[in-house]
Amino acid sequence: MAGDSSDGRASQTLKHAAGMAAAAGAYKALQLAWKRVTGNEAPLGPDDEQAPLSRAVAWTLVMGAAITTARMIAIRFTSKLLRSQRESMTDSAAAALLTTRTAPRSDPEIPGS
């Protein structure tokens, strides 16, 4: 994705915005799920001394996997949508060109046309 030079700056920005939104949503959902499953608040950060090390490590692993997966899915989905939109726009432009080129011309200056 980052090395794909065919993508414009706008589509890159849209993909990354979708990834950030998905990561934020996954983080919030994971916090709620963590509290429901464990009964405790999720650790606040790496320096949270109130959470035992095992719980902090488990939170970090689950959170990292969930956020990375959500970002990847959102970016791929957005990329697929943008690609299909670009292809449909190209197809409709090509169809418009074909119909204008194959339509009979009526030029009043040319006899018999």
Going 47 to 51 to 52 to 54, the CA torsion angle's sign is negative
Q: How many CB atoms lie within 10 A of CB 3?
A: 5
Going 7 to 69 to 21 to 64, the CA torsion angle's sign is negative
Which of 77, 101, 61 shows the shortest CA–CA distance to 19?
Answer: 77
94: pLDDT strictly greater than 50: yes
pTM over 0.75: no
In this prediction, residue 85 carries a pLDDT of: 81
Percent of the residues in the chain that have a pLDDT greater than 90, as a whole number: 45
In this prediction, residue 111 carries a pLDDT of: 60
Q: What is the mean pLDDT of residues 68-83?
A: 94
In this prediction, residue 1 carries a pLDDT of: 47
Convert the pLDDT of each residue in 10-61 to its tens digit: 889 999 999 999 999 999 999 999 999 999 899 987 788 888 988 989 999 9
User: In this structure, what token pair is assigned to residue 36?
Assistant: 């429901």
Phi, psi of 50 (to 5 degrees): -75, -25
Which of 70, 54, 58 shows the shortest CA–CA distance to 34?
Answer: 58
Average pLDDT, the chain: 83
End-to-end CA distance of the chain: 52
| Domain boundaries of the chain, sorted by first residue | 15-38+53-88
Q: What is the mean pLDDT of residues 80-100?
A: 76
Contact 71, 15 (CB under 8 A): no
